[in-house]
Amino acid sequence: MPANTYSCIIVDDNEIDRLTALAHARQYPMLDIVGVFSSATEALPVVQNQPVEVLLLDVDMPGLSGLDLRANLMQVPVCVFITAYPDYAADSFAVDAFDYLVKPIRAERFAHTMVRVQAYFNLTRKAQLFDLSLGADTVFIKDGHQQIKLNLHEVVYLEGLKDYTRIVTATQQYTVLSSIGNLLQNKPFQSFLRIHRSYAVQRHYIDRIGPQQVYVQQFTLPVGRSYRSVLNEMG
């Protein structure tokens, strides 16, 4: 078993969908699958009595829904909903969903989620060493006993990952223990434009705006539907 594994459960009332999710999950040795359940009611007492780090949940289930189960298990750091109904997406993020996959699961989309899950757990270990303090036009990042000074105008974009934010320059990446929403409330970051629930960019670095993405220097970033109108106003 790999050195860094994360306990995971799968919950889906449809047997084929449950087995499909299990087959995808087994492709990733970092997931230690400790339970597979056909109902949220069955899964709830089990997870309440043992530590679990990743939830792979269907949403629409009889009795206790996946959203209800998540609401009872908010201590679990990563919850990925897998559902046939895209309309539940907004509700899922209200219970701190990490990601939202629409059935049928595509291997490349599941892989993208797993990359983000791995990155999140890597950051939770690393970002505990970081602190953030703000100056007029600089960001000071404390890494152990060292302080790294960043000029804000060098920061190209911010990427939110739950309670952490990745600060990206043209050549380096840093992580701070602060959500992207909290970071953007600070005055030095008001020059950043929110383009997605997980991304904000420096306005002056935007090279081109596409229908579903923004081109920022060498980076291509997604645009969320609810943020598209802000970009349209820029055009």
User: What confidence score (pLDDT) does residue 93 get?
Assistant: 76
User: What confidence score (pLDDT) does residue 133 get?
Assistant: 58
CATH 1.25.40.10 fits 129-234, yes or no: no
Q: Number of helices (H) and strands (E) in the chain: give both, helices first.
A: 7, 16
Tens of pLDDT along 134-189? Answer: 555 777 776 556 677 888 888 999 999 878 888 888 888 888 888 888 888 877 78
Residue 66 vs residues 79, 146, 209, 227: alpha-carbon distances, Å: 10, 44, 36, 27
The pTM of the whole model exceeds 0.85: no
User: What confidence score (pLDDT) does residue 129 get?
Assistant: 44
Through-space distance between the first and last CA atoms of the chain, rounded to whole angstroms? 51
Domain edges within the chain: 6-105, 129-234
Q: CATH number of the domain at 6-105, out of 3.10.180.10, 1.10.357.10, 3.40.50.2300, 3.30.565.10?
A: 3.40.50.2300
Residue 120: count of CB within 10 angstroms of its CB = 19
Same fold, 6-105 and 129-234: no
Is residue 112 pLDDT above 50, yes or no? yes
> Pick the residue with more confidence: 232 or 235?
232
User: What confidence score (pLDDT) does residue 135 get?
Assistant: 58
